[in-house]
Amino acid sequence: MSVDSYLRRWNLTPDGAAIRTPGSDLLPVVWQGRPAMLKVTRSAEERRGNALMVWLDAQGAARVYRHEGAALLLERLESAPDLAALALGGQDDEATRILCGAAAGLHRERPGRPPDLPELRRWFRSLEAAQVRSGAFAPAWATAQRLLADPRDVQPLHGDLHHGNVLRSPERGWLVIDPKGLIGERTFDFANLLCNPTPEHALTPGRLERQSALIAREAGLDRARLLAWVGAYAALSAAWHLEDGQEEPARQSLAVSALAHSLR
C-alpha cells in the first residue's frame, strides 16, 4: 500500500514535506491531534527494522502508534539539537554520551521473544568477498572471523546506530529510530558511532583514541574489543561502498579500519 493509502486508512493529515530514502517513504503527519511520522517501507531490511521497533515497545525508541504490513506510524521526534552538529561543533564528548545513553535504553533487558532477525554474521559476507578481491581487506576479515566465532552479550541490535538515528523527545529524552534489526554482540552496535558523523571527523588525529575510551567507560565495554569491532565494521562499510561504486568513501572507511587496528 502507498503513503496515500495509509493517510486514508488511518485518518492522517499531512504536516510537512515528504522524505524519500533508499528504503522507505516518510511523511510528517498529524494523528488524533498529535504530531507523528508515517513510514512506509520498500525493502525487507526496513521491514525487519519495523518489527524491531514494534518489539521495543517505546522503551529507548520512538513510540509506535500503529503498524500494519510495510507501514509504521511513529511518534515524531525533534531534529534539534542535531547530534552531528554538536559533535562537529566541538562538543563531541557530549554527543557521544547522549548516544551511549540512548544505546543503553535500546539494549536494556526486556520480556518476550524478539522478532525473527538475521544474525550479524550474514552482514559480513560482503567483507569476506572483498578480501578475496583485495588484500587490503584481509586484516579486517581476520578480525571479523575472530569476533564472530566468539560473540559476547548477544542480543537484538540496532545495526545502524549513529548521530542521525538518535532524536529527542521533549518528554522522554533521547530515543533511537530507524533500526536495521540484527542479532549479535552488543559491542558491535557502538562501532558505527566511531565512524561518524563524517569520515573526516572520524579520522581527526586523537579522536578515535579519545572517543573509544569514552564509549568503553560509558557503555561498560572492553576498549580493545570495541576497537576490533570498529576495524571490522569500517572495512565492511568500505566493501559496501565498493559494491555501490563509491571509491572515495571506501578509501576513507578503510583508513578508519586501519587506524582502529593500529590502536588495539
Choose, from 25, 92, 160, 189, the residue flagged as catalytic. Answer: 160
Q: Which residues pair with 71 in a beta bridge?
A: 40, 68
C-alpha 53/C-alpha 37 separation (Å) is: 13
CA 98 vs CA 161, 199, 207, 251: distances in Å: 12, 20, 17, 29
75-102 core/surface letters (b: 16 or more CB in 10 A; e: else): bbbeeeebbbebbbeeebeebbbbbbbb
- The SS3 of residue 19 is strand
Residues ≥6 apart with Cβ < 8 Å to 125: none
Tell the burial category of 45 from Cβ atoms under 10 Å away from its Cβ (0-12, 13-18, 19+): middle
CB-count burial class (<10 Å; 0-12, 13-18, 19+) for 128:
middle
The size of the chain, in residues, is 264
Q: Tell me, yes or no, if 160 is annotated catalytic.
A: yes
Q: Given the C-alpha cell 520512538, which residue does it identify?
A: 62
Determine the longest span between alpha carbons in the chain, in angstroms.
Answer: 57
DSSP code per residue over 88-104: HTT-HHHHHHHHHHHHH
Q: Active-site positions?
A: 160
